């Protein structure tokens, strides 16, 4: 039943939802993590910076507390610094004390042959000045300077204490930190992207239910989409259901009208048939024959239309299931009594009693049409077999032109193209097969005759 509505494929589909989500997470996750990494590194860096500044302030205080003065008031080299870096040449940690006579009156041994440049703006209010300055050997230093007033044997003296540290260890620490967190961030990125994919796959799963629901409706096994989808699809579900309801109503109305029309034609046809009889009695045999032939054709159409209008609209509307064995038996009994049927050999094998999911009326119509056709064409024998949920009806008549078989099983052959007696019964058979999703196959037998099979 699949593929009978071949819609033309649009030139280009919009990007799949999975691809959309993947692209979003491929862009969003790395940028979010890159931002997070920048933030973490900057927090780390700020903390190191704070720590370094506290260390430098501590060194200034320590130097201030350790100041000694000669009797003439000149400062003596402070003693008692324990940080080894103050003593090593270009050790990375420096101090310098300046007074009125020189901005670099005393220097730490680590400065060696270098002097710290004074800051552009020297505060005189005792505030600690923070600034970056050039250090020895092309290094950049973080420096603090503070002006202090110290009592000396020669009275109050103003000194500037500068302490500076190389920034390189800070930068190194930043890089190391960034490098250290990299594998964690990469792992996190993979995890998040994977999670978003799982989310999409899981989230889109109900779409399969939508597809199968629509397939069920197309195959007429269901009338509506009901509650098989998540809440988000409720509007779609409702729209589809409204559409289906409208369609079902339109179909029901059309059926009813076709039925009414067929019914309405029955009486005029009877009258017409009587008129033909009158004509024949008046000696107009030729015209009477013509009218009879037309009446027969119209009657066949009317009967077929009435039969079609009685088929249920979809499989779920059936009154009950049908008993295959019983219905085949009834049909065979009826047809055996007809003049054509009496002359035939009947081979009926319905050993498996089984209920099939068809309305009993529809099953009777279905099998009746097939068997009637077989009886019509059989030269001596009709075989009916019900086995493995497959009903096969064969005759030993002339069979059918292979070209015609194709058009017989073709879908969408219009009823009015068909000639009464050769196709109308088949059109009902096809209609019933469509409603219940049964597979109909028609083929010529290797020996003489035709075989019609229906898989349930």
- Where do contacts with another protein occur on this chain (CB under 8 A)? 40, 43-44, 47-48, 50-51, 54-55, 57-59, 61-62, 64-69, 125-127, 146-153, 177, 180-181
Give the Cβ contact number of residue 213 at 10 Å. Answer: 21
Kindly report the CA angle at 229 between 228 and 230, in degrees rounded to 5? 135
Total length of the chain: 456
Taking the complex as a whole, the smallest distance from the CB of residue 110 to another protein amounts, in Å, to 18
- Residue 15 half-sphere exposure toward CB, CA atoms < 13 A: 7
Taking the complex as a whole, the smallest distance from the CB of residue 55 to another protein amounts, in Å, to 5
Taking the complex as a whole, the smallest distance from the CB of residue 58 to another protein amounts, in Å, to 3
C-beta of 146 vs 430, nearer to another protein: 146
C-beta of 17 vs 70, nearer to another protein: 70
Taking the complex as a whole, the smallest distance from the CB of residue 213 to another protein amounts, in Å, to 53
Residue 288 · residue 279 · CB < 8 Å? yes
Sign of CA dihedral 279, 282, 283, 284: negative
Taking the complex as a whole, the smallest distance from the CB of residue 13 to another protein amounts, in Å, to 47
Taking the complex as a whole, the smallest distance from the CB of residue 131 to another protein amounts, in Å, to 17
Taking the complex as a whole, the smallest distance from the CB of residue 127 to another protein amounts, in Å, to 8
Residue 438 · residue 455 · CB < 8 Å? yes
C-beta of 126 vs 138, nearer to another protein: 126
Burial of 119 (0-12, 13-18, 19+ CB in 10 A): middle
C-beta of 55 vs 88, nearer to another protein: 55
* Crossing angle for the helix pair 234-281 and 285-310, to the nearest 10 degrees: 160
C-beta of 67 vs 366, nearer to another protein: 67
Token pair of 256 as six digits: 């009813």
Taking the complex as a whole, the smallest distance from the CB of residue 150 to another protein amounts, in Å, to 5
Q: Are strands 106-107 and 93-98 parallel, antiparallel or unpaired?
A: antiparallel
Give the Cβ contact number of residue 97 at 10 Å. Answer: 23
- Of 208, 214, 253, the C-alpha closest to 230 is 208
CA 364 → CA 120, 130, 361, 393, distances in Å? Answer: 109, 102, 5, 14
C-beta of 145 vs 369, nearer to another protein: 145
- Of 78, 65, 164, the C-alpha closest to 114 is 164
Taking the complex as a whole, the smallest distance from the CB of residue 14 to another protein amounts, in Å, to 44
State the Rg of the chain over Cα: 51
C-beta of 5 vs 79, nearer to another protein: 79
Token pair of 78 as six digits: 């402070």
Token pair of 34 as six digits: 């890159």
**Can you name the residues that pair with 163 across neighbouring β-strands?**
95, 144
- Of 141, 145, 200, the C-alpha closest to 169 is 141
Q: Are strands 381-387 and 390-395 parallel, antiparallel or unpaired?
A: antiparallel
C-beta of 83 vs 292, nearer to another protein: 83
C-beta of 63 vs 304, nearer to another protein: 63
């Amino acid at each position: 039943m699949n593929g009978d509505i071949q819609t033309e494929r649009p030139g280009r589909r919009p990007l799949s939802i999975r691809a959309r989500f993947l692209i979003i997470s491929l862009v969003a996750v790395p940028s979010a993590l890159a931002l997070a990494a920048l933030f973490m590194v900057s927090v780390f860096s700020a903390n190191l910076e704070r720590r370094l500044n506290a260390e430098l302030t501590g060194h200034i205080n320590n130097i201030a507390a350790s100041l000694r003065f000669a009797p003439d008031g000149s400062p003596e080299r402070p003693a008692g610094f324990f940080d080894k870096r103050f003593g090593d040449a270009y050790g990375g940690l420096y101090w310098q004390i300046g007074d009125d006579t020189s901005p670099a009156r005393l220097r730490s041994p680590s400065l060696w042959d270098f002097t710290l440049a004074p800051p552009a703006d020297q505060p005189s209010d005792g505030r600690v000045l923070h600034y970056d300055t050039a250090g020895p050997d092309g290094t950049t230093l973080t420096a603090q300077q503070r002006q202090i007033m110290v009592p000396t044997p020669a009275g109050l003296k103003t000194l500037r204490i500068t302490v500076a540290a190389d920034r390189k260890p800070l930068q190194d620490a930043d890089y190391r930190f960034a490098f250290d967190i990299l594998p964690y961030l990469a792992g996190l990125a993979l995890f998040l992207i994977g999670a978003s994919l799982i989310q999409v796959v899981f989230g889109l799963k109900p779409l399969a239910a939508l597809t199968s629901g629509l397939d069920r409706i197309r195959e007429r096994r269901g009338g509506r989409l009901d509650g098989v989808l998540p809440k988000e699809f409720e509007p779609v579900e409702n729209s589809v259901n409204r559409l289906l309801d409208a369609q079902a109503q339109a179909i029901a109305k059309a059926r009813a009208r076709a039925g009414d029309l067929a019914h309405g034609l029955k009486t005029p046809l009877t009258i017409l048939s009587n008129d033909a009889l009158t004509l024949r009695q008046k000696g107009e045999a030729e015209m009477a024959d013509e009218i009879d032939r037309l009446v027969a054709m119209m009657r066949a159409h009317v009967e077929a239309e009435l039969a079609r209008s009685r088929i249920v609209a979809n499989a779920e509307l059936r009154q009950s299931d049908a008993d295959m064995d019983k219905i085949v038996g009834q049909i065979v009994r009826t047809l055996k009594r007809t003049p054509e049927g009496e002359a035939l050999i009947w081979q009926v094998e319905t050993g498996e009693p089984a209920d099939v999911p068809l309305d009993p009326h529809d099953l009777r119509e279905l099998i009746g049409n097939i068997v009637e056709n077989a009886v019509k064409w059989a030269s001596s024998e009709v075989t009916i077999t019900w086995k493995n949920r497959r009903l096969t009806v064969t005759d030993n008549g002339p069979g059918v032109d292979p070209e015609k078989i194709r058009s017989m099983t073709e879908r969408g052959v219009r009823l009015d193209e068909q000639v009464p007696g050769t196709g109308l019964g088949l059109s009902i058979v096809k209609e019933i097969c469509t409603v219940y999703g049964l597979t109909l196959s028609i083929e010529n037998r290797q020996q003489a005759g035709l075989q019609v099979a229906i898989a349930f």
